[in-house]
Amino acid sequence: MADLTGARLLTPRRTALKAGLAAGLSGLLLPALSACTPTDRPGAVTVAGGEPGGFYLEFAELLAASLQRHGVAGQATALTTGGSLDNLEYLLTGKATFAVALADSAAQRTAVGDATAVGLSAVGKVYENYVHCVIRQDSGIRDLGALAGRTVAVGQPGSGTSLTTPRLIEAAGLSSAAGTAGGVTVLSLGLNEGLAALRDGTVDALFWSGGVPTAAIAAAHDDVGLGFLDLSPLLPALRAKYGVFYDRVLIPAGAYEGIPAVWTVGVANLLLCRSDLDDRTVQRTVELLVGHAEELIPRSSLGVQFLSPESLINTAGLPLHPGAAAAYRELHG
């Protein structure tokens, strides 16, 4: 694979936001957020997020605040969850109105049939997730092969990381299930538990899928000194077996202080809802995503936020909700 084929570069936050909005909204006269009265909006909505210290929860909190601020709902709150897989269940069981989830998790959940039939629809693609393979700088581990025979944290049950990581381990030929001497021992630890285990040496590497930088990783790096392994060589095997959900993306130098740039695997992050959510609420949410994008950038983020009509509709094959589709058609004229 050529160096930049399928690759996405991370650009500074302010530049990315200005460039993304300029490119996405050029030539568009954005409508004001559609007027809404207390009788034609939901009284309360919930946004399923993720773990404390992670990008999902911060984005969900910002989105909930914006939904309430602009009158899309009378009240909006973010939910702390285990991550993508939990969030999909929250949606399908009616415990959440909206949820953020990885595209590969959503595809796996809907693989048994038509996505609409099982009750999931996309509102839009909101940003890119970066899979971090985190090691201590003093570990002597410099590549994936050095993980053979070691212990790794693979995400807590219910997280999107817990789905993606076994695929990465398999692609790297490190699957302990294969019965090879070069396999790894896996522990189901989430972000904060995994970082604690990395600090005390009970795991040798931590896999985590999130935005760049992830605040909890940045804080741990300040304490013990961390590094990342290049996961991009695994992309051909991942795509051959699981499809084109995976991109080659760059964690830039300086995203985490003193850590050099490293290529890794990226997965699109989607904002989802149930298929039976009313069109009006979904349409106004799309208008908010486009017209108030600046309110939805987590403070720690350096990366491109995919909050323009062209990128929002790239939902990795998951069908758009009819209300979202109508909003994008209106925005495009």
- For strands 262-274 and 98-102, give the pairing: antiparallel
In a domain? residue 51: yes
Residue 285 lies in domain: 7-129+268-332
Find the mean pLDDT for residues 190-207.
96
- Whole-model pTM: value is 0.80
Give the CA-trace dihedral at 274, 116, 246, 311, to 10 degrees: -70
For residues 142 and 255, state if they share a domain.
yes
Q: Which long-range contacts (CB under 8 A, 24 or more apart) does 232-238 make?
A: 232/263, 232/264, 232/265, 233/144, 234/144, 234/168, 234/171, 234/172, 234/265, 235/1, 235/6, 235/265, 236/1, 237/171, 238/167, 238/168, 238/171, 238/265
Mean pLDDT of the chain, nearest integer: 84
Q: Taking 70 as the threshold, does the pLDDT of residue 36 lie above it?
A: no
Domain boundary among 266, 283, 305: 266
What percentage of residues in the chain have a pLDDT greater than 70?
81
Q: Taking 90 as the threshold, does the pLDDT of residue 320 lie above it?
A: yes
pLDDT, tens digit, 9 for 90 and up, residues 45-100: 999 999 888 888 999 999 999 999 999 999 999 999 999 999 999 999 999 999 99
Confidence at residue 39, expressed as pLDDT on a 0 to 100 scale: 54
Whole-angstrom Cα distance, residue 291 to residue 31?
A: 8
Find the mean pLDDT for residues 217-231.
96
Find the mean pLDDT for residues 303-309.
60
For residues 99 and 86, state if they share a domain.
yes
Which residue has better confidence, 301 or 71?
71
* Phi–psi pair at 273, nearest 5 degrees: -145, 175
For residues 193 and 309, state if they share a domain.
no
In a domain? residue 2: no
CATH of the domain at 285: 3.40.190.10
For residues 241 and 303, state if they share a domain.
no
Domain boundary among 247, 266, 285: 266
Q: Taking 60 as the threshold, does the pLDDT of residue 292 lie above it?
A: yes
Q: Taking 70 as the threshold, does the pLDDT of residue 304 lie above it?
A: no
Domain boundary among 266, 289, 311: 266
Whole-angstrom Cα distance, residue 127 to residue 233?
A: 22
Confidence at residue 155, expressed as pLDDT on a 0 to 100 scale: 93
